[in-house]
Structure 1
Amino acid sequence: MEPLEKTNEENLSKTKYDGNGRSPFKPTGAFIGASWTALLTGIVGYCIGLWNAGMELNEKGYYFTILLFGLFAVISVQKSVRDKAEGLAVTEMYYGLSWFATIAAIVLLIVGLWNATLTLSEKGFYGMSFALSVFSAIAVQKNTRDAKMFEDKNI
């Protein structure tokens, strides 16, 4: 006896993705807005914390550089992972370097906070605003790519 409905995998392959494994759906305005709001909240909160911190300028520069490095690294990982999933060419060197940069940024933040003479609440604040920033950067990049793909497909 055959099942009446197709499996989820068959349904996804026919309805959610086109022939190249790409999603033709445009992200909703609410998801785009929430992603950008989270990104700006994380970055602005992190920077306000640095501005008001009672640390040396070189320490502030270190933490700011880690934020920028982390944001670039996670966007690079998201792009290379998605490119590979869609069958686009991604060199193993770039793929590996983007993962290395992401892990390095996280480790550098952890080591910096571990050795910092900050209160535990300040360390938690920087860790959480960093995490919010990098996660939302991934979502913003995904939304941007999905919207562009949708636009290209429907022109």
Structure 2
Amino acid sequence: MAKSENKTKVTAVTPEAFIAALEDGPRKRDAERLLPWMAEVTGLTPRMWGAGIIGFGRYAYTYDSGHSGEAMITGFSPRKANMVVYVMPGYAGFEAMLARLGPHKIGKSCLYLGALDKIDLDVLAEIVRAGMDHIRKTHETWDA
């Protein structure tokens, strides 16, 4: 069987260029605010992953099936409906932090946020760091 290649991987586009090309409005303003904030919180360099995700750091994974690859440690995507923050290990055990965050919805590794001015960014930083700590304990990681 042919090995499948990851569709979401680092591109040559800069996060700044990606954000500059977004339609003017609240999502663009939030992305402009979140980019330096995430860089500070993570201590990692932002890179574009695929066409619309700004990721920070990388980790190596191997599934039980044998499929392996690389993914970002954390990141965000300024989608039209919501700002999406990616916390790769998911949110099990994060209930207390999520209760203090502000309006949100969660998916497997996705944290869907409305306007950033309704979110407690200190709590979001706790969530991002907790997710990064988990990935660093369980996977090989690097910044690039």
- Please give the TM-score of this superposition, normalised by the length of structure 1: 0.22
- Please give the TM-score of this superposition, normalised by the length of structure 2: 0.23
More strand by share: 2
Pick the structure with greater CA Rg: 1
Select the structure with the greater relative contact order (CA < 8 A; seq sep ≥ 6). 1
